[in-house]
Structure 1
Amino acid sequence: MGRKLLAYEKKDTWIDRLCGVSKLIFFICWSVTSMMTYDTRILLVMLVLSLVIFKISKTSWSQVGGVFKFILFFLCINIIAIYLFSPAEGVRIYGTETVLLGSGHYALRAEQLFYEFNIILKYFTVVPSIFIFIVTTNPSEFAASMNRVGIGYNAGYAVALALRYIPDIQSDFHKIRNAQMARGIEMSKKGRLFDRIKASTAIIFPLVFTSMDRIETISTAMELRSFGKNKKRTWYMARPLKRNDFITIVVSVLFMVVALAITFADGSRFWNPFM
């Protein structure tokens, strides 16, 4: 079995050497900027930076490829749904109408294409940062980072457990899948798609019961150790902030402030090239 999807993998890059707090602050600033702005110029800069950072992080496609295809599928549905339910949204936002093809309510307009292009950019700026953050941050360190920025350690520990469950569930899935194939059930690419989907549904119940058993074991262990009794706790994986961490935090905050200042300079978060 190859690398697991969205599983933390320790590597020797400057991103991995950053403290979880600095990576969390970068991720928050990056996400807020991407969500708030519809300035295509800023989104294009963020897209380029995302791809560069993704390359530097040495994140393998096998770690994120399956999830990326899943996100891409829903992105396509989102784009189509926007056009079907609001084909003139771009006209309303930008205040002009440039018909490229057709007529009537579903005429193809330049403003609508530009608006949906910005939505695609927003996806492609945030998704790489999510992948980088998950695969380069130890779940326990992530929980410690959340606690250091003011989030309760119960919530942080819950997130850490969820991230740790991702590779565990994948391992259980492959074990059950291999057991099914050993019994003669064809689940490889050689079988027909419908048969593979039907066979895969048979894995759901064993996978759910296995996960529930693991949850019961962990919750019992936490209860025996009086988890949650105290208001504060220490973290084994917590790391002190170093020079590169401070640089990352300062640059992230400055980038967000400058990007949002440019975005709202004219009173709107939409950059309008049609005026």
Structure 2
Amino acid sequence: MSKAGMLYIERDTLFHRLDGAVKLIMLLAWTVIVFLFQDIRVFIVLFIIGLVLLMSAQLPWKRIRLLVWVIIVFNIFNSIFTILVSPAYGSEVNGTTTVLIDLGYEVLTLETVFYILTLSMKYMSLMPISILFVYTTHPTRFAGSLNRLGVPYKIAYAFNIAFRYIPDLKKDFISISHAMQARGVGLARGEGTLIQRMKHFAAIAIPLVQSSLARIDTVANAMDLRGFGKNAKRTWYSSSPWGRADIGIVIVCVIVLAVSITVRVQGFGTFWYPFNS
């Protein structure tokens, strides 16, 4: 689990200098605000703000594109699943019905399409801040920050290991898939039907789990040999006090969250449908 294997991308920007716990507070506040509302206008504003913040972090596209595509693909499958299962759900939410397509067992309504668009924007508005948190947070400094906030250091260190282990898991997946392809197992496009390729990808799970368990055992033994968990407290090599920017971000998060809750309690932020008469 070397530095090269971490998700963290070294840059000299405001987000890279922020304390890991501050970025976690920001992520949690952002998530709460997103799930408070069901208004696409709010999600569009949050998405634009998130993109501006993401661009300010100067993260290379080739490093973050995988996570971006995962979120987009999840949105597409979630939208298709919602249409197939509840094609008229938007009408139930809004109270009006504008039929677009008769699917036989149910009708697909314009209200449902707009509801799905709203739901997709909700998830997309979480994407920029999630990428910022994942790729600008150093695992060790983040663990130290959590411990300073009162989180037991064993739990904090578990976050540290998880952040470092994700890239190794990705490397194992690629290595196993290449080994299977060398043995004639079709995984790429055009090498069998979609169902066959899905079965082949599922077969990767067994060696991947086995290699993961072996790595977990190695890490656990190494930690035991170093006496991890013997003392009630521990120090952190990279721990640092909060600066003005950290305190300012936390204050802004608290204020914005309080305003959002107040506005939501007053009735703003329910499902917004622009075609209501």
- Normalised to the residue count of structure 2, the TM-score between the two structures is 0.82
What is the aligned partner in structure 2 of residue 116 from structure 1? 116
What is the aligned partner in structure 2 of residue 158 from structure 1? 158
Deviation at 1:264, TM superposition (A): 3.2
CA contact (8 A) 1:7 1:134 kept: yes
What is the one-letter code of the residue matched to 1:10?
A: E
What is the aligned partner in structure 2 of residue 254 from structure 1? 255
Deviation at 1:250, TM superposition (A): 1.5
What is the one-letter code of the residue matched to 1:238?
A: S
What is the aligned partner in structure 1 of residue 98 from structure 2? 98
Query: Percent of aligned pairs with the same residue?
Result: 35
CA contact (8 A) 2:88 2:112 kept: yes
Q: Deviations over 1:75-106 (max 9, x none)?
A: 22211222222222222222223334548863
What is the one-letter code of the residue matched to 2:236?
A: W
d(CA) in 2 for partners of 1:269, 1:146: 34
Matched, 1:192 2:198: no
Unaligned 5+ runs, structure 2: none
> What aligned pairs does 1:58-207 form with structure 2 within 5 A after superposition?
58-102=58-102, 106-175=106-175, 192=191, 205-207=206-208
1:41–1:175 Cα change, 3 Å:
closer
What is the one-letter code of the residue matched to 1:11?
A: R
d(CA) in 2 for partners of 1:20, 1:148: 11
1:104–1:178 Cα change, 3 Å:
closer
- Which has the higher mean CA deviation after the structures are superposed, 98-107 or 208-217? 98-107
1:105–1:111 Cα change, 3 Å:
farther
What is the one-letter code of the residue matched to 1:26?
A: M
Q: Deviations over 1:102-143 (max 9, x none)?
A: 488633323212211111011111122111111110111222
d(CA) in 1 for partners of 2:219, 2:241: 28
d(CA) in 2 for partners of 1:127, 1:199: 30
CA contact (8 A) 1:42 1:259 kept: no
What is the aligned partner in structure 2 of residue 240 from structure 1? 241
Q: Deviations over 1:125-181 (max 9, x none)?
A: 112211111111011122223333343322221121111012223344455566677
1:109–1:179 Cα change, 3 Å:
closer
Matched, 1:264 2:265: yes
1:119–1:188 Cα change, 3 Å:
closer
d(CA) in 2 for partners of 1:67, 1:46: 19
d(CA) in 2 for partners of 1:98, 1:196: 39
Deviation at 1:202, TM superposition (A): 6.9
How many residue pairs get aligned? The number is 271
What is the one-letter code of the residue matched to 2:149?
A: V
1:261–1:6 Cα change, 3 Å:
farther
- Normalised to the residue count of structure 1, the TM-score between the two structures is 0.82
> What aligned pairs does 1:204-219 form with structure 2 within 5 A after superposition?
205-219=206-220
